[in-house]
Chains A and B, each alone.
Chain A
């Protein structure tokens, strides 16, 4: 997509982060910055450290060394839920849905600043209910966006794999993110649905100012939507640039794809 759209202000600044799990180092000395309102894809083979990187950015795991700044604020040592409250929201590989909540409830759960989430809210039923009505409307709007409206009051557990991906994405959006980390949203999704997801993402970029960082193992899928592609292998960044330059990068082709693609 048009690279010129990228604004200059940095939303995420990652400085020399590493993590050790015993002897294993899934992420080693990784640094990069992400500008606001851009769409960046992180690609790399299995075990490259992509999800580990997301776990560090979202605070699910803590860095062994290095710093992470989100909107200028150091976040490497604060709790995961606080990072999410600041607007850095993630999804998970394999679409984690809450099976025994309804589809609509899955979304409504994610809303920020719900007075009913607080026990004291129990004593102010009117405010609580007013907020619920709003949350429900918002949820229905999001469901409409991805075509899941008819499942709103069904248990999420009945959804198919692809529908779960859509639900997962919609739910993350309900948390009102300024930056969204999507972990393999296209994995195991049929080509038609991939197209649909890409359309939804493209629309979101236009309508809301959300910065995207996305994990994908297949470069081709994200070629068109990404402003920039970061390639990881063995816990390190081995290439970083425009999608086209990555596509032609011999280092990437050798390290990541193993050999030249047949069709190139």
Chain B
């Protein structure tokens, strides 16, 4: 259990929480405000992550310019997804969005010459003829930890640098998103969440509102992909499985989907559950190997979700009254 006492563990939890928190900010505005059930959110993260990897490795771009293009592509992809499928009603859109994310993943998997295919970003062709590893994320994060080292010594880790990069963005985005959710734009969007016909009959272009929401959410997904690329430097298609989308959903359900400000607490809680399971070494969990225990996170998080659904369906910060209105 001493792992939990190490600052390093908590720094890791925070780094994860920041990344997944930004990721679920996208789902929050889509579902919590717009009622759009997007189960393919991971596709946006994959697109921006891979765009960065390819631009940096194959075309020698700087990381941040590549990141900008990655996020723009994620937004365009959100627009494409919306234009083609958003006229489907709730459940059908959810299914289409899963298919969409899988198309993205299979495309990455099967275009070896661009993305490295199954071998991940290591196999992205680079002009140097070496494997497609980029040290740009390391350079960026080490630059920060080098400056922290004189101040805090050994604790100046790569993860801590990551936390310092990702959290200001995360908090800024929460702030922007919560401001946005106070506008009349969001009010119309909330109306579309319950009923299409009412806003339409009052002169509101429901499709436009939905499409905008999907794109905004996709931008958050794309930005999460930027930080993912920064944190892990190496990408592989199996990093972008459906489960990642559902991690985002877990954070959202934990926080309560209609309250954006609670999201960071839920993200930390998620980060803890995600990071902690492998360190749970007491009996009977000690019978399992460490990687086996890592899978416990899925059970544990699922269990917490079920518990919440029963005891507190509005999430940690939601309003219960909203759940019971008919």
Binding site for B on A (CB under 8 A): 58, 60, 79-82, 84-85, 89-92, 96-101, 105-106, 108-112, 114, 116-119, 121-122, 128, 131-132, 135, 155, 157-158, 171-172, 174-175
B198 at interface (Cβ–Cβ under 8 A)? yes
A174 CA to B199 CA, complexed, in Å: 12
Binding site for A on B (CB under 8 A): 179-180, 183-185, 187-188, 190-191, 193-195, 197-206, 212, 321-322, 325-326
Residues in A with CB closer than 8 Å to B322 are 100, 155
**Residue from the set B187, B199, B325, B326 with the largest chain A CB neighbour count within 10 Å:** B187
A81 CA to B201 CA, complexed, in Å: 6
B202 touches A101 (CB 8 A): no
B201 touches A89 (CB 8 A): yes
Show 11 residue pairs from A and B whose CB-CB distance is below 8 angstroms, ordered by the A residue: A60-B197, A81-B199, A81-B202, A92-B198, A99-B326, A100-B190, A100-B322, A109-B191, A117-B185, A121-B185, A135-B184
A92 CA to B190 CA, complexed, in Å: 19
With A109-B187, A121-B185 as given contacts, are A155 and B202 in contact (CB-CB < 8 Å)? no
B184 touches A128 (CB 8 A): yes
A43 CA to B185 CA, complexed, in Å: 38
Residues in B with CB closer than 8 Å to A82 are 203
- Shortest CB-to-CB span from B30 to chain A, Å, is 15
- Shortest CB-to-CB span from B186 to chain A, Å, is 9
- Shortest CB-to-CB span from A108 to chain B, Å, is 7
With A99-B326, A122-B180, A155-B325 as given contacts, are A80 and B188 in contact (CB-CB < 8 Å)? no
A175 touches B187 (CB 8 A): no
Residues in B with CB closer than 8 Å to A109 are 184, 187-188, 191, 199, 202, 204
B198 touches A96 (CB 8 A): yes
**Residue from the set B185, B190, B199 with the largest chain A CB neighbour count within 10 Å:** B185
B183 touches A122 (CB 8 A): yes
With A108-B184, A119-B185, A128-B184 as given contacts, are A96 and B202 in contact (CB-CB < 8 Å)? no
